């Protein structure tokens, strides 16, 4: 096989992988030098001449003529008799340049060279794809369903790049068929070996943020800013918005008349319920708005000296009894999102707590904090509220086992018996 034929045989890789001819020539030189070094021990005395326009490549080995029987390195020196077979008038001390053909490298070296060249081309392509998508992390992206697996959906974009949508990054109600277009945000891009792995997410708060940018002109233009997003994907979300222009109602602009503007976003997210609230730097007011639809009577903010578990502090919120369930929400969803959005741990307390009742937090020496939190999630923050609920109901509404619930109720009963 002639040198030029080898180059032309890789034209399909160049075309398929969008590698320009100059880059291909550069890769060729790198691969050939590695092959020469393996065969001859060094590539320093070789000239590799590449013509990217013609796609031609020549390899020349340069050696010094020495007297017969005095050659110490066959790669860098050539004896006089052998040199005169190339050119009869060579003399000792002169330089000899001899072209190296592929056949001179041997069949095994040629096969290894081919494999190495293919590997380098794919490595170059992978590096470019990695850089391209690394710059797109956090951006909205659309690709087509190519293959559906039990733990992920494999997508292909218009350029044939493979993108992975894991089960964990899908909304529970998501259902896609082959050929469907899927939108999400590029969550992460990693090089695993030499292959870039591109992860798409539909559960990330960034996805909701980007949908607001795309679907609401004022957000896209920067007239309205999204200050915070908290989501339970496919179920409920809270979005805090603000505007530097007092003439603009940011909530009204985002929701639209009868929800017309936000409807497309809700539909994209599998009918996820989205609460849009006005952002404010007044933390008490912001927490009150985040707990909507509940109406807060009063609150006390207890900031941490240093952030704990990503939270800035603890807030004791006082509510009328009929507002408690609204603040907590079904399964604790509302209070969880309010906490995530504001950055505070929120404790909800009933207004006018009966004298004979006791807050669950008073039992922290006997009942673990995470167990108390489970009761609070469903609106039970006092001893009597837990005792009045049936064990069956508590098992169903919390993540606690029956044995744990019985043990808690025993501790609470002992308090009143005393």
Same domain flag for 113 and 193:
no
The answer to whether the peptide bond before residue 293 is cis (omega within 30 degrees of 0) is: yes
Strands annotated E in 129-264: 140-148, 152-156, 162-166, 181-192, 195-201, 224-232, 236-243
Look at strands 224-232 and 195-201 and give their pairing. unpaired
For residue 93, is it left (φ>0), alpha (ψ between -120 and 50) or beta? left
Same domain flag for 9 and 127:
yes
Question: What residues contact 174, with CB distance under 8 A and at least 6 apart?
Answer: 202, 234, 270
Same domain flag for 127 and 142:
no
Q: Is residue 329 part of a domain?
A: no
Same domain flag for 32 and 74:
yes
Strands annotated E in 5-139: 46-51, 56-66, 77-79, 95-99
Same domain flag for 87 and 161:
no
Count of C-beta atoms within a 10 Å radius of residue 153: 23
Q: Is residue 196 part of a domain?
A: yes
Q: Is residue 317 part of a domain?
A: no
Same domain flag for 88 and 143:
no
Q: pLDDT by residue for the chain (418 residues), tens digit each?
A: 444 455 555 455 445 455 666 667 777 778 888 888 888 888 888 888 776 555 567 888 888 888 887 877 878 888 888 888 888 888 888 888 888 877 667 777 777 777 777 777 777 777 778 888 899 999 999 999 999 998 999 999 988 889 999 999 999 999 999 999 999 999 999 887 778 899 999 999 999 999 999 999 999 999 999 999 999 999 999 999 999 888 999 999 999 888 888 999 999 999 999 999 999 999 999 999 999 999 998 888 988 888 877 788 888 888 887 888 888 888 788 999 999 999 998 888 777 655 567 788 878 888 888 898 888 888 787 888 888 788 888 888 888 899 999 998 888 888 766 5
Tokens in use for 249?
A: 């109602």
Same domain flag for 11 and 127:
yes
Q: Which of 154, 173, 201 is the last residue of a domain?
A: 201
Q: Is residue 240 part of a domain?
A: no
Element (H, E) at 165: strand 162-166
Same domain flag for 87 and 22:
yes
Q: What is the pLDDT of residue 7?
A: 53
Q: Which of 184, 201, 218 is the last residue of a domain?
A: 201
Backbone phi and psi for residue 300, each to the nearest 5 degrees, phi listed first: -130, 125
Handedness of CA 290, 294, 296, 299 (dihedral sign): negative
CA distance 402 to 407: 9
Domains contained in the chain, number: 3
Same domain flag for 9 and 68:
yes
Look up the domain containing 97 and give its range: 3-132
Q: Is residue 334 part of a domain?
A: no
**Residue length of the chain:** 418
Q: Which of 83, 107, 132 is the last residue of a domain?
A: 132
Count of C-beta atoms within a 10 Å radius of residue 362: 13
Question: How far, CA to CA in Å, does 141 sit from each of 8, 161, 201, 277, 318?
Answer: 36, 12, 10, 27, 44
Same domain flag for 76 and 168:
no
Same domain flag for 63 and 160:
no
Q: What crossing angle do the helices spanning 321-328 and 333-342 adopt, rounded to 10°?
A: 70
Q: Helix, strand, or coil here: 92?
A: coil
Secondary structure letter of residue 300 according to DSSP? E
Q: Is residue 397 part of a domain?
A: yes
């Amino acid at each position: 096989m002639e040198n030029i034929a080898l180059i032309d045989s890789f034209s399909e890789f160049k075309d398929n992988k969008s590698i320009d001819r100059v880059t291909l020539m550069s890769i060729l030189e790198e691969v050939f030098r590695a092959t020469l070094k393996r065969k001859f021990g060094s590539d320093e005395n070789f000239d590799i001449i590449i013509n990217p326009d013609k796609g031609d490549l020549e390899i020349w080995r340069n050696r010094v003529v020495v007297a017969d029987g005095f050659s110490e390195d066959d790669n860098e020196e050539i004896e006089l008799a052998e040199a005169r077979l190339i050119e009869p008038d060579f003399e000792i001390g002169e330089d000899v340049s001899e072209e190296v053909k592929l056949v001179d490298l041997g069949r095994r070296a040629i096969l290894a060279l081919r494999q190495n060249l293919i590997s380098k081309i794919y490595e170059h392509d992978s590096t470019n794809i990695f850089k391209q998508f690394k710059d797109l992390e956090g951006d909205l992206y659309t690709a087509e369903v190519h293959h559906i697996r039990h733990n992920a959906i494999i997508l292909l974009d218009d350029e044939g790049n493979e993108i992975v949508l894991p089960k964990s990054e899908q909304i529970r109600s998501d259902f896609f068929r082959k050929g469907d277009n899927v939108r999400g945000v590029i969550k992460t891009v990693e090089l695993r070996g030499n292959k870039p792995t591109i992860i798409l997410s539909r559960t990330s708060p960034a996805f909701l943020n980007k949908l607001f940018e795309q679907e609401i002109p004022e957000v896209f233009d920067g007239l309205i800013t999204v200050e915070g997003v908290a989501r339970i994907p496919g179920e409920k979300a809270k979005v805090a918005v603000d505007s530097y222009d007092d003439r603009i109602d940011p909530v009204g602009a985002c929701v639209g008349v009868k929800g017309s503007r936000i409807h497309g976003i809700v539909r994209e997210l599998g009918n996820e319920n989205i609460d849009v609230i006005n952002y404010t730097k007044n933390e008490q007011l912001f927490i009150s708005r985040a707990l909507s639809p509940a109406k807060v009577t009063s609150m006390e903010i207890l900031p941490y000296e240093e952030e704990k578990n990503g939270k800035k502090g603890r807030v004791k919120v006082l509510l009328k009894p009929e507002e408690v369930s609204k603040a907590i929400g079904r399964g604790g969803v509302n209070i969880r999102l309010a906490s995530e959005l504001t950055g505070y741990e929120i404790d909800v307390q009933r207004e006018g707590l009966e004298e004979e009742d006791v807050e669950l937090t008073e039992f922290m020496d006997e009942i673990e904090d995470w167990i108390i939190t489970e009761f609070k999630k469903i609106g039970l923050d006092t001893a009597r509220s837990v005792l009045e609920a049936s064990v069956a109901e508590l098992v169903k509404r919390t993540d606690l086992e029956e044995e744990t619930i019985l043990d808690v109720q025993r501790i609470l009963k002992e308090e009143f018996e005393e």
